[in-house]
Amino acid sequence: QRQMLKAYLNKPTVNADGRAVGLYANIGKPEDAQAALEKGAEGIGLFRTEFLFMDRDSLPTEEEQMNAYRQVAALFAGKEVIIRTLDVGGDKEIDYLHMKKEENPFLGHRAIRYCLDNPETYMIQLRALLRAGADHKNIKIMLPLVTGLEEIRAAKAMLEKAKKELAAEGLPFDANAQVGVMIETPAASQIADLLAQEAAFFSIGTNDLTQYTLAVDRGNPDVASLYTHFHPAVLRSIANVIKAAKKAGITVGMCGEAAADPALIPLLLSWGLDEFSVSASAVLATRRTISLWSQQEADDVQAEAMNLSSVKGIQGYLASMIKK
């Protein structure tokens, strides 16, 4: 199996018709970037920056953050590096931020909400991201847990302020860094057409999108059997986002675990997902799966699956269609 996958190492990611799609990796630490490159990732589709903030007792400085982001940008020079701004709260606690105990942390003051309300913390990260892109101009900034246009506009306003500051200080930065959003709430999925007015790209976060769409805690073993991206509500949601992105002419990727699921890949190919971002260990297997599907075959399976109405039916059908 491993030997077979090695054949896909220095190959482009194309479907059976030769159509190219992006195949990126998710990372959590700058040190993971090397392994992602060695495993054949064509870019970084999700750099979870929380790690930088965890297991320490004070906020990482602008310099520390810039160095971490720059390290990945340099390794992936000429390729895209999508860095997600701080996704705190929910299950991710950071003591020194003194976040309040909440009744419903996953519905609470987390991610972009926390950051916009704590501009002194967020500005440090935004400045570090802009500066880290100065050399290679390959960093894209991604906002987590967006539910509305206002959040994108507020974050972009802060970025403009950061650019003004950096320019006044004479520090080099990437003035054209793109700003995209994660689509991981039902609200974002439903208004994807509106969000596309302000977002340079989308990345579908199926881990949270599944949790919020189905009202099923992604970490609770007692409801784990209900947590599935094969629910027709999740599938329709994904299809809607990809369609909205296509219509608006922006790129759309997926960085949730679902992007590496061989049973789901034909649907994603049929809908026209531009970029798959998976863990480094899943890059080669995903490249292989993509290579096995022609557009026509993917379209046929997609149509058949979307005609089914139950999770069991859809999951069973898609599992039976996985190409060995």
22 binds Mg ion (CB under 5 A): no
260 binds ligand PEP (CB under 6 A): no
Which residue in the block uniquely carries the two structure tokens 């870019």?
43
Binding region for Mg ion (CB under 5 A) out of 35-43, 164-172, 201-209, 270-278:
201-209
Min separation Cβ 254 and Mg ion, Å: 12
Which of 30, 40, 133, 205: binder of Mg ion (CB under 5 A)?
205
Name which of 162 and 268 has its Cβ closer to ligand PEP.
Answer: 268
Name which of 87 and 274 has its Cβ closer to ligand PEP.
Answer: 87
Which of 40, 205, 262, 266: binder of ligand PEP (CB under 6 A)?
205
The Cα-based distances of 71 to 39, 59, 190, 262, 291 in angstroms read 18, 19, 36, 32, 31
Nearest partner of 141 among 47, 268, 29, 54, judged by Cα = 47
Residues in the chain: 324
Contact (CB, 8 A) for 137 and 174: yes
Nearest partner of 83 among 114, 55, 52, 108, judged by Cα = 52
Which of 39, 48, 140, 287: binder of ligand PEP (CB under 6 A)?
48
151 binds ligand PEP (CB under 6 A): no
70 binds ligand PEP (CB under 6 A): no
- DSSP codes joined into one string, 193-244: HHHTTT-SEEEE-HHHHHHHHHT--TT-GGGGGG--TTSHHHHHHHHHHHHH
Query: From the list ligand PEP, Mg ion, none, which binds 133 (C-beta under 5 to 8 Å, kind-based)?
Result: none
Instruction: Report phi then psi at 48, rounded to 5.
Output: -80, 110
Instruction: Please report which helix (H) or strand (E) contains residue 68, including its range.
Output: helix 62-75
Binding region for ligand PEP (CB under 6 A) out of 123-131, 201-209, 301-309, 316-324:
201-209
Distance (Å, whole) CA 3 – CA 23 = 20
206 binds ligand PEP (CB under 6 A): yes
253 binds Mg ion (CB under 5 A): no
32 binds ligand PEP (CB under 6 A): no
Total residues in contact with ligand PEP, by rule CB under 6 A: 10
Name the residues that contact ligand PEP, by CB under 6 A.
Answer: 46, 48, 87, 184, 205-208, 255-256
